Amino acid sequence: MTDSRETGLALDPKWSAEGLITAVVTDGDSGAVLMVAHMNAEALRATVDSGEAVFWSRSRGELWRKGATSGNTMRVREVRIDCDQDAVWLIVDAAGPACHTGERSCFYRRITGDALESVA
């Protein structure tokens, strides 16, 4: 099943019931997945227009300009959108750690069987 949202060149995000889409962020140099977050329409617009990553914080219920407090901003090289337009992929240059724990990537553990193992 395909439709114009999938094959066309019109930006037409499929917002969730909460008005959000998923945002995956990868490092422009290493290709590593740095984080997964969410965007509402305002965050997506702000990201595209400013060239800096802006998300919607579900926990705080507010717009979240990445690095506004930590200084670890993310310069956006490119924003891609997936087939059904409910997820975007940001390729960025990160000024510092993406994760609030201080790790460069939020994905600093691998799953091994029933447990986790640090890869940091």
Q: Is residue 68 within 8 Å of residue 60, measured between CB atoms?
A: no
Show the binding pattern over residues 73-92: x = contacts a copy of itself (CB under 8 A), - = does not.
-----xxxxxxx--xxx---
Q: Does 15 bind a copy of itself (CB under 8 A)?
A: no
Q: Which is nearer to a copy of itself, 81 or 95 (CB)?
A: 81
Q: How far is the CB of 114 from a copy of itself (least distance, A)?
A: 6
Q: Which of 13, 23, 25 is nearest to 85 (CA)?
A: 13
* Structural contact between residues 99 and 27, judged by C-beta atoms closer than 8 angstroms: no
| Contact flags string 87-116 toward a copy of itself, x per CB under 8 A | xxx---------xxx-x--xxxxxx-xxxx
Query: Would you state the structure tokens that stand for residue 57, as one six-digit string?
Result: 């914080």
User: What residues line the site for a copy of itself (CB under 8 A)?
Assistant: 1-2, 6-11, 22, 24, 26, 30-33, 35-36, 48, 78-84, 87-89, 99-101, 103, 106-111, 113-119
